[in-house]
């Protein structure tokens, strides 16, 4: 179902009026995690001002250590909804289990499946039974073929509203958090009709590389970007080193739109 043989034309996924995979680039941005009302409202205003269409923010955080901040759960979802009402941005958030899907359903416009759950087939089947669009991230160690097969688990349950997201893979290189597999963009485009966006934040792990990787992603044909933005990155409860401050994100959006115009 994810393959070009099933559908030769590129799919355009409509998320409550915003089209992903069409002519216009889609930008999703916001903090790694929802931390407080002040934080998410400030982030949402910055994201809106820069011209993005989606606010991201984790309420269920799949952290490497069980002792790290795990997210505000439903309280975080309520804050995301408040941010939506304040700005009109669409909301995307990660869901990590069946219960999280049920709770998040009424608060958000799009679900995100994170890298760690790329082959959690039970969860993928669950999300496939929802009608809500889903951003489906590549795993740290999944081949493109494994990733597309995993997308098949979602689609075979009836949810065709899948957008893929390349977010870096694990390699021998340690200068960046992960290695952004820029090839994944044209390869996915040749194998699949599904839209693909790029997450330079989790790939780079460091703010200084986010602009060049974003430019590369757009030049390679990505349908959009998802970028971490925090009103005060130094104080972030997760992924502090990779979250852009509002001004840098604003400048990035300007630069990116220039590249998009040339293409
Ligand atoms: C995230 O987007 O906050 C996240 C945890 O990303 P990934 O699943 O790509 O690590
Ligand atoms: Mn993060």
Q: Does residue 115 line the site of ligand 1, with CB under 6 A?
A: yes
The pLDDT tens digits of the residues spanning 125-165 come to 999 999 999 999 999 999 999 999 999 999 999 999 999 99
Residues ≥6 apart with Cβ < 8 Å to 156: 1, 128
- What stretches of the chain adopt beta strand conformation (E)? 13-15, 18-20, 26-30, 54-56, 90-94, 110-113, 134-137, 162-166, 196-198, 224-228
Angle at 238 between CA 76 and CA 93, to 5 degrees: 40
Domain 13-262 has CATH 1.10.1660.10: no
Helices (runs of H) and strands (runs of E) counted in the chain:
9, 10
pLDDT bracket for residue 60 (50, 70, 90): very high
Across all residues in the chain, what is the average pLDDT?
98
Q: Does residue 193 line the site of ligand 1, with CB under 6 A?
A: no
Q: What is the pLDDT of residue 70?
A: 97
Q: What is the pLDDT of residue 91?
A: 99
Pairing status of strand 162-166 against strand 134-137: parallel
Q: What is the pLDDT of residue 79?
A: 98
The pTM of the full predicted model, rounded to 2 decimals, is 0.98
Contact between residue 40 and residue 46 where contact means Cβ atoms under 8 Å apart: no
The pLDDT tens digits of the residues spanning 97-128 come to 999 999 999 999 999 999 999 999 999 999 99
- What stretches of 185-256 adopt beta strand conformation (E)? 196-198, 224-228
Q: Does residue 58 line the site of ligand 1, with CB under 6 A?
A: yes
List residues, by chain if needed, whose CB lies under 5 Å from ion ligand 2: 32, 239
Q: Does residue 167 line the site of ligand 1, with CB under 6 A?
A: yes
Pairing status of strand 134-137 against strand 110-113: parallel
The pLDDT tens digits of the residues spanning 171-184 come to 999 999 999 999 99
The pLDDT tens digits of the residues spanning 18-36 come to 999 999 999 999 999 999 9
Q: What is the pLDDT of residue 206?
A: 98
CA of 235 to the centre of ligand 1 (A): 19
């Amino acid at each position: 179902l994810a393959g070009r043989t099933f559908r030769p034309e590129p799919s355009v996924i409509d998320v409550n009026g915003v089209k992903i995979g069409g002519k216009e680039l889609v930008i999703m941005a916001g903090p790694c995690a929802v931390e407080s009302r002040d934080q998410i409202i400030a982030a949402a205003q910055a994201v809106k001002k820069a011209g993005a269409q989606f606010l991201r923010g984790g309420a269920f955080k799949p952290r490497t250590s069980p002792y790290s901040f795990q997210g505000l759960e439903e309280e975080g979802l309520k804050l995301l909804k408040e941010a939506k009402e304040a700005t009109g941005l669409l909301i995307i958030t990660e869901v990590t289990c069946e219960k999280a899907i049920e709770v998040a359903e009424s608060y958000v416009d799009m679900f995100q499946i994170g890298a760690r759950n790329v082959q959690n087939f039970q969860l993928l089947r669950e999300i496939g039974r929802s009608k809500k669009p889903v951003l489906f991230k590549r795993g740290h160690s999944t081949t493109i073929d494994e990733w597309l097969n995993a997308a098949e688990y979602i689609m075979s349950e009836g949810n065709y509203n899948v957008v893929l997201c390349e977010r870096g893979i694990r390699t021998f290189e340690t200068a960046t958090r992960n290695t952004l597999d820029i090839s994944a963009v044209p390869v996915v485009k040749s194998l699949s009709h599904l839209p693909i966006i790029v997450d330079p934040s989790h790939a780079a792990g460091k703010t200084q590389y986010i602009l060049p990787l974003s430019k590369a992603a757009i030049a390679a044909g990505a349908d959009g970007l998802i970028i971490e933005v925090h009103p005060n990155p130094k104080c972030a409860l997760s992924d502090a080193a990779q979250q852009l401050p509002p001004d840098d994100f604003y400048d990035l959006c300007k630069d990116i739109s220039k590249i998009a115009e040339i293409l």
